[in-house]
Structure 1
């Protein structure tokens, strides 16, 4: 087992298949058209539905939920799926709200996914800041996830989560050897809060990649929602201006399984 199969379902949602495990990130599975409120006067409309429906996903062994309180990371259909998954890993506060099979991880704490006949996967929560300094009390807790298993040759699978570039991500560069990075981009902002960003811009992603030095970079969380301000062409332009990063980028066709070395 030297690779991982990733299906970008849309938005932040990806299906990760490795060694018999089927792991889903941030399930957003509602149809398009609805407007979702995110609190403090912010809201957004979902423009595109999932490339793979909830019914077509098949059984899910674990859900990695970066945060539960925003509809662009967990919508109604995604929430309905959670009880059917073996384990839901999320923030400590989110696990308290969800209950049931949800388990909370504070940044840099870990939990193992274990099952007879399957490789053990160690999941470590990584820091996120979903907005400007001191915004945590308003936007709430978010975590990323680093996944490690024995056969990895180039490093761990890292899901950044919804975050801007800040000191906590620089810790990832110091503490995690990243093989494949699923980066939540989109440069999210809202009219009511002006120029403030709530996820990484492409320029921040370039800086982050130079710090973390992953072998492969997979952009996610850049399409399908009104509040995503940097779609693929903007991201591609920024990456093209940084050849050292551009050569690392792998755009996954949405809805189609892709095999990645790790």
Structure 2
């Protein structure tokens, strides 16, 4: 079986090679631009993807934590899903996205894809009470015989939910943590894990290795990759994942 590997593409987007599958997290492949919509917060993307959508090669599965925000699913990401690539996401995403093979999952619901069992993890995209503004979000737990267990946090900001996940699954071999402390003017709180909370989440999960995502390429990410590295400075578990470089985990 090929080794587990990851290629950081940008923002929350990575190509994960796992159990013989090629899996993309929250696909964002647009060029830098400003996203303006009267019904949404204006978001600014500062850097394009390390790998263009058309250069990805085979993609077997997409893990989409939610579909309502351009920093998790942009126009090129929609084009990827529209090709019919199997996509796991929220029930709302399955109801609202057309032209793709989107399967909606509830919290703790599992879905078998080839040799991999993917279970939807609870997530909260901000403080308690923010759900009506930000919408539903999920994370994912990946399990396969003979392979490491992998947790993908999605846009989660809640350590109590991480504790619930740890109670069921810890220790987790590899944790992909969205850790840029996303913030918008409408909500005075972090919408994703900040750097210190990411370190706490890793400890709760008993993770032997952490991959940091969602810390670069958008102006509303308030914590940088450098801040994440400081938070994990004495742990030795934060993987070095240069842009566009395949890294075995």
Fold conserved between structures, TM > 0.5? yes
Q: What SS does structure 1 have at the residue aligned with 2:173?
A: strand
Report what 1:171 is aligned to: 164
Give the superposition deviation at 1:145. 0.6
CA distance in 2, matches of 1:158, 1:128: 12
Aligned counterparts of 2:186 and 2:152: Cα–Cα separation in 1: 28
Task: Give the aligned length.
Answer: 247
Q: Which residue of 1 aligns with 2:239?
A: 250
CA deviation string 1:57-92 (max 9, x = no partner): 012111110001100000001001102243110001
**What residue number does 1:134 align with?**
129
Cα separation, partners in 2 of 1:38 and 1:72, compared to 1, 3 Å: farther
Is the contact between residue 60 and residue 84 of structure 1 (CA under 8 Å) also seen in structure 2?
Answer: no
What secondary structure, in the 3-state scheme, does the structure 1 residue paired with 2:54 have?
Answer: coil
CA distance in 2, matches of 1:164, 1:236: 18
Aligned position for 1:68: 67
Divergent runs of 4+, >3 A:
36-40
1:24 aligns with 2:24: yes
| Structure 1, 52-61 or 18-27: larger mean CA deviation | 18-27
Secondary structure of 1:59's match? coil
Aligned equivalents of 2:196 and 2:83: distance in 1?
38
Unaligned runs of 5+ in 1: 115-119
Work out the CA distance in 1 between the residues paired with 2:133 and 2:33.
26
Give yes or no for the alignment of 1:189 onto 2:183: yes
Paired position in structure 2 for 1:8: 8
Q: Give the C-alpha shift of residue 20 in structure 1.
A: 2.8
Q: Which 10-residue stretch deviates more, 155-164 or 16-25?
A: 16-25
- After superposition, the Cα gap between the structure-2 partners of 1:46 and 1:36, relative to the gap in structure 1 and judged at 3 Å, is farther
8 Å Cα contact 1:165-1:208 kept in structure 2 = no
Q: Which secondary structure does the structure 2 equivalent of 1:237 belong to?
A: helix
Match in the other structure for 2:227: 234
The alignment's C-alpha RMSD in Å is 1.6
User: Which secondary structure does the structure 1 equivalent of 2:161 belong to?
Assistant: helix
Q: Distance in 2 between matches of 1:230 and 1:101?
A: 34
Distance 1:19 1:31, change over 3 A: same
The residue that corresponds to 1:259 in the other structure is 248
Q: Distance in 2 between matches of 1:39 and 1:189?
A: 17
Aligned to 2:117: 122
| Residues 104-135 of structure 1, C-alpha deviations (whole Å, 9 max, x = no match) | 01110010102xxxxx1000010100011111
Kindly indicate whether the alpha-carbon contact (under 8 Å) linking 2:3 and 2:17 is maintained by their aligned counterparts in 1. Answer: no
1:155-200: CA deviation from partner (whole Å, max 9, x where unpaired): 411110001123222111111131111100111112343x411011
Report SS of the residue matched to 2:238: coil
Distance 2:62 2:38 in 1: 21
Structure 1 SS opposite 2:197:
helix
Give the conservation status (yes or no) of the 8 Å contact 2:19–2:116.
Answer: no
Match of 2:76 in 1: 77
Distance change (3 Å), C-alpha of 1:85 and 1:15? farther
Preserved CA contact (<8 Å) 2:5 2:246: yes
For normalisation by structure 2, the TM-score amounts to 0.94
SS in 2 for 1:43: strand
Q: CA deviation at 1:37?
A: 4.6
Return 5+ residue gaps in structure 2 as ranges: none
Give the distance between the partners of 2:240 and 2:97, measured in 1 at CA. Answer: 33
